[in-house]
Structure 1
């Protein structure tokens, strides 16, 4: 192998590592249905199909459940002290 090939491969790996650490690309696997190569495909989505990538992020955001609403009988969280008076 030529020495420039090894330097080029090391440079690409270093650039990918820095881009991941700086938040330019996201290599975490958010696609739980796919196999092991899901994180590599998200790079292509971010670069070549950004609207598809943004739609996938929005679907993940909307599919997460919000905090449960308070129900009658829950303890007071310290918001109201004493009686509530309503003037009509």
Structure 2
């Protein structure tokens, strides 16, 4: 059975305290290629590598069934800063 965006989101929300999560199925519905955006205070003070390890650990069962997985992990402040920059452009 293919992985679903809802399954990924639920696993992320169970393992990490998130303020915002977006899961996009980039595989035309076959469940093999996903990208995620995760905003969490849990990422504060952590390197990008440490953040990605947290997410990979939370999704280890699902990632084993996925062909491609991309993640963007931001703190709430980084998310606000990035939205401000996009609005100013």
TM-score (norm 1): 0.24
TM-score (norm 2): 0.23
By percentage of residues, which structure has more strand? 2
- Relative contact order (C-alpha < 8 Å, sep 6+): which is higher? 2
